[in-house]
Structure formats: structure tokens, C-alpha cells
Structure 1
Amino acid sequence: MKKNLLAVAILCALTSGTAFAQKAEGPWLVRARAVNLDSANKDSTGLGLSVNNKVIPEVDVSYFFTPNIAAELILTVPQRHTLRAGGAPIGSLKHLPPTLLLQYHFDAPGFKPYVGVGVNYTRFSSVNFDPVATAGLNPSIDKNSFGAALQVGVDIPLTKNLYLNFDVKKVYIKTDVYASGVKAGTFKVDPILVGVGLAWRF
């Protein structure tokens, strides 16, 4: 009987200590990253379409529903890209790609790895084609894209609430391409984004 009571007491102490630590840590996590965007540039139009790779700023906000499960909203500012056909510039566009992910954070000593899966919405804007480079084609694109997003990363504690973050995402972004109103094919950006930054838990 005494052994059972002792076991219950130890379990209660551990549970309350864990709950206190989780409460003290806070449910919110904000990250700021520098992210290298590397596009897959898959094109079925036969024009050899591509956009340039670049480093972009990224900010995300996460909320922890439990110690292991969180939702993350990833944001940036509209990014301008040069659009090329066969390596030659034919225009430019901007894209804004907010992404919402559901994450699972693993329990590990000294660092906090996580995986995520979710959905991306990309809005293409300021689409401009060079009238000389695209003479006679009258090109246009679909300005909205919905696709899946996959993620793996790790938060490494630096201080009580400050973390060093490494993050890799695969985001599926595509748009249909039209010539004089007729669909010519699909251009898939489908970038891999590799980021490093800092995170603050509160």
C-alpha cells in the first residue's frame, strides 16, 4: 500500500513539474529567418520557363495546443522574380506565399526537432511581360495557387526563451500559363526553402 502511495506521489510530482515547465515556457513561438528559395522550375509549356532563386526574409508565428502539437503561420513580403524563357528574360512577377502548417515537436534532450505538414496559398501579382520578347504570344498566368507544404526543422535552446532555428520546407506552387487566352501548359515553381534564424518562446 505504501509503495502504491509513493508511486502515485512521484507520478503527481513529475506531472505537476512538467505542467509547470510547459506553462512557464508559454504557448507562443515567434521566429525570424533568412531563407534561401531554390525553385524546381518544372515547365510543361515547352518554353523553358524559370524564375530566379533568391534569399528572402521570413517571419512565422506558432501556437502550441499541447507540448508536442503546434500550428505555424509563415509570412513574408511580396517577392519579385525575373521570369525567363530558355534563360532569356521575358518579364517579371511578384509572389506572396503565406503557409499554414500543423507541426509535431519531438521530445529530445538539448534540442527540439519538429516536422510539419500543411497548405500554401500563393498570390501572383505585378505580372509584366516584355512585349518584344513575347511578341505575338499575348501571355498571361493564373494568379492563384494552392498546394501542399512539407517541413522539417529544429529549435536549439540558447537561453531560457531564445532558440537557434534551422528549417527546411518543400512548398508546391504552380500556375497555368496562357497564350492569347489558350492554355499552353503549367509552370511549377515548387521551391525548396532552407532557412536559419532565431525563435522566441513566450
Structure 2
Amino acid sequence: MKKQVIAAAALCGLLSGTAFAQTVEGPWLVRARAVHLDSANGDSTGLGLAINNKWIPEVDISYFITPKVAVELVLTVPQKHTLTSRGTTIGSFKHLPPTLTAQYHFDPIGSGAFKPYVGAGINYTRFSAVSLPPGVDIKRSSWGPALQVGVDIPLTKQLSLNFDLKKVYIRTDVSAGGANIGTFKADPTLFGVGLGWRF
């Protein structure tokens, strides 16, 4: 009888452990998004500088430190932009803007159908392949804050649909003949839609 009780207790422990493992989500979340970049085009040079808006690919990797707190690294490939002055094309450049944010994930809304989150962090942008008129140049790097809000909508146990909105502060000093003539502020708003995989 004693052996049967021990066996039953062990079986219950095994089953409850299995059930617990099935209900606990893994700490990693990887998303792939299509993101629309909409630049604020703030310019203090007096040249009327602006870059084009565009759709870009984005991949991000999140790690959940706790069930509600995560860190996210946002990655893409160098993006080429056309630079215009009062509507006339004057050159182009590429920029690579990796962003790191800390996120807070709220309790699910509507029986787990919506999982909203907010985030804040820092962006580093590297400018390359700069092609501008002779004597005109831009600073090659930019540091700035990033703000984020989004929602995950579960499709299966591990797969989710994601909508994400970020404001990233990207700016660079503009020079002509070696003298600083002002600052160009791209400061884009980025709206993304994609899929996430939790493991």
C-alpha cells in the first residue's frame, strides 16, 4: 500500500510538472516585421532637407527577464535614402539604426487575446555610403532615445501577430566647406506589422 501511495504521488508530481512546463512561456521572442518609416524631416540648415519615406524589413529579438519585463534588440539592414533640398534631389546615404529597448508587458486583455506593451530605450545610427554635393557632408553617427508601444495577438501557443509603433530620434549635423550649418533631424515614426515566435 505504501509503495502504491509513493508511486501515485510521484505520478502526480510528474504530471503537474509537465502541465506547469506547458503553461510557462519560454523567455525568448523573435519577431519579423514589415516597417513603414515616416521621417519628421526637421531641418535647421535653411536648405529644406528631407529624406524619402519607405518600407523596410525588421527583425527583433526579445528576452523576458520576468513574465512582464523584457529587453528587445531591433535590427535591420543598411537602408538607402534619397536626400532632397526643397524637393530637388541632391544626394543619398545609407543608415543602419540598431535599437535597444526595455519593455513592460501588461496583463492580457480580453481572455488573452491582446497582450499590450510599452518600451523605451536607445538608438545608435551609423551613416554610410554618403553621396552629397562637393564640400557638403554630414556627421556619421547619431545617438538618441527611442519610444515604443505595441500589442501581440496570439494565433497559436507560440505564434503571435504583432503591431508595433516606435518613435526614434535620429539626427546629424550638416556641414558645408568644413563649417557646421545646422542639424537635420530624421526622427522617424515607424509602424510595423509582423509575426512573433515565443520559445
Cα deviations by residue, 1:110-131 (Å, 9 ceiling, x for unpaired): 2210000000000000000145
Q: What residue in structure 2 maps to residue 123 of structure 1?
A: 126
| Aligned ranges 1:165-184 → 2 under 5 Å | 165-184=162-181
| Aligned counterpart, 1:151 | 148
Partner of 1:185: 182
Q: Sort the Cα spacing of 1:29 and 1:182 in 2 relative to 1 into closer, same or farther, 3 A.
A: same
Q: Distance in 1 between matches of 2:189 and 2:132?
A: 26
For 1:75-115, what per-residue CA distance to the aligned partner results, in whole angstroms no more than 9, with x for missing partners?
00000000001110000000000000000000123221000
CA contact 1:22–1:67 (8 Å) conserved in 2: no
Residues 120 and 148, structure 1, Cα contact 8 Å, conserved in 2: yes
Alignment partner of 1:25: what SS? Answer: coil
1:159-184 CA-partner distances (Å, limit 9, x unpaired): 01000000000000000000111000
Measure the CA separation in 2 of the matches of 1:24 and 1:162.
15
% identical aligned pairs: 71
Are the structure 2 counterparts of residues 23 and 144 from structure 1 closer, same or farther at C-alpha, using a change threshold of 3 Å? farther
Q: Structure 1: which 4+ aligned runs deviate by more than 4 Å?
A: none
Cα distance, 1:22–1:95 mapped onto 2, change above 3 Å: farther
Higher mean Cα deviation, 21-30 or 37-46?
Answer: 21-30
- Mind listing any 5+ residue stretches in structure 2 that lack a counterpart? 1-15
RMSD after superposition: 1.6
AA matched with 1:177: V
Equivalent residues, number: 180
How far apart in 2 are the matches of 1:155 and 1:189?
28
**Is the 8 Å Cα contact of residues 61 and 72 (structure 1) preserved in structure 2?**
yes
- After TM superposition, the structure 1 = structure 2 runs for residues 4-23 of structure 1, keeping only pairs within 5 Å, are 20=20
Any stretches of 5+ residues in structure 1 without a counterpart? 1-15, 132-137
TM-score, length-scaled by structure 1: 0.86
